[in-house]
Amino acid sequence: MPCPQDFLLFRIGPSDYSKILGCFRPLLLSSTGCVFLGQVASHHFYVGVVFIMGGIIGIRYRSFGGYIPKAAAPLTNSWHAQLSINLAITGSSSIAFAHIVYAIPVYPYCASDYPTVLCLFCHHIWIGGKLIVGAGAHASIFMIGDYYSYSYYSKNYWCNSFILQQILNHRDVIMAHLIWVTVALGLHSFGLYIHNDTLQACGRPEDTFSDYSIQLKPVFAAWVQSFRIVSFDIEVLDGKVIRMTQELGTADFMVSHIHGFTIHTTLLILLKGVLYARSSRLVNDKLELGFRYPCDGPGRGGTCQISPWDHIYLAVFWMYNSLSVLLFHYFWKMQSDVWGVYDVSSQKIMHITGGDFSVNSGTVNGWLRDLLWSQATMGI
């Protein structure tokens, strides 16, 4: 059996294909090595067929899978609970694929077309973010309309219902821990940028956090890379770099903590909307108000922005913040340290922006000046 990466990159000969897949062998366009558009369309068509068949199986399982009391198995009998779980898994898979599509390229000629890789990454990142927010929305609807507490049915309850009830009983503790983690991440990550901007404005660049002054090396990430699970050799196709090791430094350490803060903030809002969908300390009858209801002013301590729908609205805003920083980081890092032209004579890589990410991304002013202003003209 050949190496899986060689299998994906079509480095296998006809004899190997005949052993593995019988008579089947993907048809590739000889001039570019890419898959024909008809095969791409067929792929999406049959994926749709699989989804439809999966839905039919789910309906039959839900209808004829045996009698299970609704209160005893609320997750099984709730479409919203099933949809929430499926959206969370699919969204996470889409985000994972966005990383794989450039880190482990399947089609070499796709990896050498930098605008295509950027569009694929952006496309799957946005899909993943929206699906995860949708998972939070349907989980809130499940909590309001489909969930029944096991305590009303003596010992006739399902284990999932028991676990969910325990989570609801400890929701204040869960949210408190998530809040302090989020606040700590935000304080430290943005504090580093504020520190760098302030000292740079005061003419003291030697006291800023960077690879050329006070270094903050991502030790854990470097330790993971040291295992060399995949090949880190530079791969070049038609003079263009399609994959290489990304050297991580202080700038990567800082922006990664920004990612951690924005992701935890989005999770905090989504989880708060789910756990407090049925009741809260000030409004104990939220279950009767439903998924969406307006603000009734300062009564009962204030009821603005407390409905599950309002939490989804705010979560979408923070999802946008999270993915915007992620996309800017990806674009700047790739064109700074990965994408470029390989010079055979000097055996050096001429990167698009010449490694300016580690130099200029350590300050908020650097992001605004270099990436969002001067380099934005490259996309026009």
Cα–Cα distance between 103 and 354 in angstroms, integer?
A: 20
Residue 38 lies in a domain: no
Q: What is the pLDDT of residue 30?
A: 66
CA distances from 145 to 20, 165, 175, 180, 271 (A): 50, 15, 23, 31, 17
Asked if the structure places residue 10 within a domain, the reply is no
| Beta strand extents in 219-353 (DSSP E only) | 235-237, 240-243, 340-343, 348-351
Q: Is the residue at 52 inside a domain?
A: no
pLDDT, one tens digit per residue, over 1-59 is: 445 444 444 443 444 433 443 333 456 666 666 667 777 777 788 888 877 887 777 66
pLDDT tens for each residue of 206-253 = 999 988 889 988 888 888 877 766 656 778 887 888 888 777 889 999
CATH at residue 205: 1.20.1130.10
d(C-alpha 294, C-alpha 273), whole Å: 15
pLDDT, tens digit (0-9, with 9 covering 90-100), for 308-361: 999 999 999 999 999 999 999 999 988 888 888 888 787 788 888 788 888 888
Task: Compute φ and ψ for 236, nearest 5 degrees.
Answer: -120, 140
Give a yes or no: residue 47 inside a domain: no
> What pLDDT does residue 50 have?
78
Show the domain range for 80: 67-379
Please state which of the ranges 30-34, 84-88, 176-180, 197-201 shows the lowest mean pLDDT: 30-34
Does pLDDT of 157 surpass 50?
A: no
Q: Is 51 contained in some domain?
A: no
Question: What's the average model confidence in pLDDT over 54-75?
Answer: 54
In a domain, 291, yes or no: yes
| pTM assigned to the model | 0.78
Q: Domains in the chain: how many in total?
A: 1
Query: Residue 26 domain-assigned?
Result: no
**Residue 20 forms part of a structural domain:** no
